[in-house]
């Protein structure tokens, strides 16, 4: 379980940067070379390589050298693992919010009932 949380920590850490999120979004369409990934950004190649290394270390992206070109592709299973964790959290929080809504509705109903009783007594 700890290993799973370590992978989640690395994934969320990697996704905390807007450039890396943009790279992941681009790779969700299809694999791309480092040069293709660098095109939309006004940054030096070593900087984009650093971002790709972080994504690779997180397990979200894998790279392979094909001749003189380094190709990157999204590791779908790593993204799915992160998505599953988020879905579990969503279920937990939706349940909590539903219970809170029920509690607030009950309080409002009690308040309305109490107000009615006060008016009758006057």
Q: State the DSSP string of 65-96.
A: EETTEEEEEE-HHHHHHHHHHHHHHHHHHHHH
**Domain locations along the chain:** 2-75
Question: What is the structure's pLDDT at 110?
Answer: 86
CATH class of 2-75: mainly alpha
Q: How far is Cα 39 from Cα 24, in angstroms, rounded to an integer?
A: 14
Total-model pTM: 0.71
Instruction: Residue 71: count other Cβ atoms within 10 Å of its Cβ.
Output: 16
pLDDT one-digit tens code per residue, 34-62: 999 999 999 999 999 999 999 999 999 99
pLDDT one-digit tens code per residue, 83-119: 888 898 888 999 899 899 999 998 888 888 877 666 6
């Amino acid at each position: 379980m700890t290993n799973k949380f370590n992978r989640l920590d690395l994934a969320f850490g990697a996704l905390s940067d807007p450039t890396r999120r943009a790279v992941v979004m681009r790779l969700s369409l299809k694999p791309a070379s480092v040069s293709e990934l660098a095109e939309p950004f006004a940054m030096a190649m070593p900087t984009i390589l650093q971002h790709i290394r972080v994504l690779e270390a997180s397990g979200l992206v894998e790279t392979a050298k094909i001749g003189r070109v380094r190709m990157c592709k999204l590791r779908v299973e790593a993204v799915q693992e992160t998505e599953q964790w988020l879905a579990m959290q969503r279920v937990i929080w939706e349940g909590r919010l539903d219970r809170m809504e029920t509690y607030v509705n009950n309080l409002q109903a009690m308040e309305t009932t109490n107000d009615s009783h006060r008016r009758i007594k006057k």
